[in-house]
Amino acid sequence: MTFSRENNFDLIRLVAAIQVMLFHGTTFFNLTNVDWGKDLQMTVYLMPGVPIFFTISGFLIYQSVERNRDKLKKYFVNRALRIYPALYVCLAFTIMLLLISGYIYWPLVFSKSFLGWLAAQLSVFQFLKIPAFDNWGVGHPNGSLWSISVEVQFYLILPLMALYLFKKDASLTKKNLMILGILILSVVYNIWLKNSYPETSKIGKLLSLFIMKYLYFFCVGVLIYLNFDKLKRFLVGKAWIWISVFIIYTVVFRNWLNLFENVYDVSFLGIVADLILSLATISAAYSMPKLSGRLLNGNDLSYGIYIYHMPVFNYFYHRQPNISIEKFIIICLGIIFIAFLSWRVVEKNVLKLKSKILT
């Protein structure tokens, strides 16, 4: 399969990151207490950002593994360069905000809990929180990073899945059946987890961060990729149809009839909602494919917005839990500016190292 380099994935990721930022902001700053706040939250809630990220990852990362099947070193280096350098700079930024707020002091720096937290942030356990920061903001310096841990797990297991998928005798039917089987296992895991452990329990929280809980999102993206040649006539150039279908479906079955919570809901209607959202996401990537380039000019701000918005929100929430709409807009614009600096100063320059490291 060949795919055009002109697509809207950067723009879609940007919209998804802004959705996450606005949803968290309206929730944490109590902006839902006024009518416009409720309306804004309901609007951004219609297109949940994290499932969109996971679908895109399934679609694109599988493509990356397939392209680098004989040189997995390149695959792992590319993934590490995309995730960790900017993440480490964000960690330094977060620590600076904690210092300014008075939550990091010398005795804490040498404590086991802080060193353990620091090690977790530098590895794959970004979801870890410690009591020392419970009263800063909403209680976690950067709670959004739980999805980074899930993404990294997916990056690690996908090459193992590919050992079978890339066999010469593996037909498209066999590949589809394998991915569908993994998707079903993920759904079964979710049902088991929901019925076995409360979401508030420690083991429940830990098991909810295991890749199996979210693997079906990625699998849908992989299935769309594998069958893109057959699906493209229904997807290319038809984004507004799929987006409209998703909005109507959500409004009718969730808002009016209250039959499912959201696309995370592992029920028949919830899974159908995720499938429609995934098809809408890939369709949008290949509808008016030059739009992203025209609007963004090659700048990819989505990752920066995603990793920086919670430390900034926590800093301001600690100072003033209730803010005006004007101040909220200014804070969001500031986060976008920080993301721009992250892209131009850190991410863009680091990505240029790919060819140098691998030569």
Print burial letters for 12-29: b (CB count within 10 Å at least 16), e (below 16): bbbbbbbbbbbbbbbebb
Closest C-alpha to 238, from 284, 207, 204: 284
C-alpha span between 249 and 243 (Å, rounded): 10
C-alpha span between 327 and 342 (Å, rounded): 22
Residue 126 lies in a domain: no
**257: Cβ–Cβ under 8 A, 6 or more apart, which residues?**
none
Residue 296 lies in a domain: yes
**196: Cβ–Cβ under 8 A, 6 or more apart, which residues?**
none
pTM for the full predicted model: 0.94
Residue 89 lies in a domain: no
CB 85 within 8 A of CB 347: yes
Closest C-alpha to 145, from 91, 190, 194: 91
* Amino acid at position 263, single letter: V
Domain that includes residue 318, residue range: 9-82+133-357
Residue 49 lies in a domain: yes
Residue 114 lies in a domain: no
Q: Helix or strand or coil: residue 185? A: helix
Residue 104 lies in a domain: no
C-alpha span between 153 and 160 (Å, rounded): 11
Closest C-alpha to 310, from 183, 110, 190, 140: 140
DSSP character string of 290-349? THHHHHHTT---HHHHHHHHHHHHHHHHHH-SS--HHHHHHHHHHHHHHHHHIIIIIIHH
DSSP character string of 70-129? T-HHHHHHHHHHHHHHHHHHHHHHHHHHHHHTT---HHHHTSHHHHHHHHHHHTT-TT--
C-alpha span between 342 and 9 (Å, rounded): 19
C-alpha span between 216 and 184 (Å, rounded): 7
Between the CA of residue 171 and those of 67, 157, 184, 207, 228, what are the distances in Å? Answer: 18, 21, 20, 34, 15
C-alpha span between 161 and 119 (Å, rounded): 29
Residue 34 lies in a domain: yes
210 dihedral zone (left: phi>0; alpha: psi -120 to 50; beta): beta
CB 302 within 8 A of CB 13: yes
**pLDDT for the residue 356:** 67
C-alpha span between 210 and 207 (Å, rounded): 5
Q: Tens of pLDDT along the chain (359 residues)?
A: 656 678 999 999 999 999 999 999 988 888 866 666 666 666 767 778 999 999 999 999 998 888 877 778 888 988 999 999 999 999 999 999 999 999 999 999 999 999 999 999 999 999 999 999 999 999 999 999 999 999 999 999 988 887 777 766 678 888 899 999 999 999 999 999 999 998 888 899 899 999 999 999 999 999 999 999 999 999 999 999 999 999 999 989 988 999 988 888 889 999 999 999 999 999 999 999 999 999 999 999 999 999 999 999 999 999 988 888 889 999 999 999 999 999 999 999 998 887 666 55
CB 235 within 8 A of CB 242: yes
Output Rg (C-alpha) for the chain, integer angstroms. Answer: 21
Closest C-alpha to 221, from 179, 173, 272: 179
Residue 215 lies in a domain: yes
Per the structure, the count of domains in the chain is: 1
Q: What is the mean pLDDT of the chain?
A: 91
Closest C-alpha to 124, from 152, 147, 143, 159: 152
Closest C-alpha to 46, from 332, 276, 333: 276
